[in-house]
Homo-oligomer: A and B are copies of this chain.
Amino acid sequence: MENLSFALDCSGGDFAPLEIVKGGVQATRELRCKVYLVGDEKEIKTVLETLGEFGNPRIEIVHAPEKVGMNESPAVVLKRKQSSLYVAGKLVRDGIAQGLVSAGNTGAVLAAGKFIVGTEEEVERPAIGVALPNPRGRTVLIDVGANVDSKPKHLVQFAVIGHTYAQEILGIKNPRIGLLSIGEEEGKGNELVKETYPLMKQTKLNFRGNAEGRDIYAGTFDVIVCDGFVGNVILKASESLGLAVIQLIKEEIDRSFLARMGAFLLLPALNRFKKKADFTEYGGTPLLGAKKPVIITHGKANAKAIKNAVRVAGEFLMQDFNGKLVENLKTLIPHEVRV
């Protein structure tokens, strides 16, 4: 990725600026790209000096004295023009950097993506797709929170965005698309789903009908489409369930010596499993449909997660994701179903 450069928001996330700067350094070494470290100049300089990386020719510091807090309203970013997120977004909008990575306030990163970086041609509403693990591979759930109260035509666009993501980035040929509902048959579900179903059938997607909640982690579909409210609560409930299960199992294990012994022997297997499910391994969630890659990482992202997020942004560019997306939006959706 020698010709690419990325803007890293160094004031967002639980471990900013240290882990962001470290991740940026790793990206310059491993991916050989350029990074713009955007944030408090002094702080960033101090970290770079500590790491012995001040003067790294692939790193440029861009001063941005303000920041957007984790609990502030997302819209704040659009007014706070000296914030690291705004400045990073502007670098991308102006073509100086080719992608944005932030571990900050998710809503604010979304706003920066939509309104500062901007929305790609043909895309009505950018959407967030996550590639969730299942025993056979991954299923893209889209949208998981960039939009609420979506209209049928938006869901059709999300389907095409998810199709393009699954095919171009995850390497899934002819992805099987499902529409999230309750009940499998056409005509089952809420008003939104009932209106969307016939539109989906008119597209050239590999539409396989309604998916149910149970399909999300079962590998029966490659892309499952839903409104962002629904996708977001599912995603967060899943995280919370995972934590609760680990907690409950831990409590049971603590009650017996043999069980503790067993857990010890199981550790390597559990760690391999953890690696499969670990967000730091695959680095961040893209805002699909923005003009340039915008990658939102977990607030707790460490250096490795940041580096992987940069890698993901680079892959989107190298695969010409946006070019293929625009093409797909034009060719897979018949004219009368377009937004």
Contacts and interface: CB of A to CB of B under 8 A. Distances in A.
A64 to B, nearest CB: 25
A190 B149 contact: yes
Contact of A229 (B107, B215, B230): B230
The residue among A213, A214, A273 with the most chain B CB atoms within 10 A of its own CB is A213
A208 interface: no
For this chain, the copies found in one complex come to: 2
A139 to B, nearest CB: 10
Main SS at interface, chain A:
helix
Interface of A: 107, 133-135, 145, 148-149, 180-183, 189-191, 193, 212-218, 226-230, 232-245, 247-249, 251-253, 255-256, 258-259, 261-270, 272-273, 276-277
Nearest to A241: B217
By Cβ-Cβ distance, the 8 closest A-B pairs, closest first, are: A213-B236, A262-B265, A262-B266, A213-B233, A217-B244, A252-B269, A259-B269, A213-B237
The residue among A217, A233, A255, A267 with the most chain B CB atoms within 10 A of its own CB is A233
Given A148-B189, A236-B213, A269 B255 contact: yes
A276 B244 CA distance: 12
A259 B218 CA distance: 25
A275 to B, nearest CB: 10
B252 A258 contact: no
Given A148-B189, A214-B239, A217-B244, 9 more contacts: A135-B244, A135-B247, A149-B190, A182-B228, A182-B236, A212-B236, A213-B240, A217-B241, A238-B241
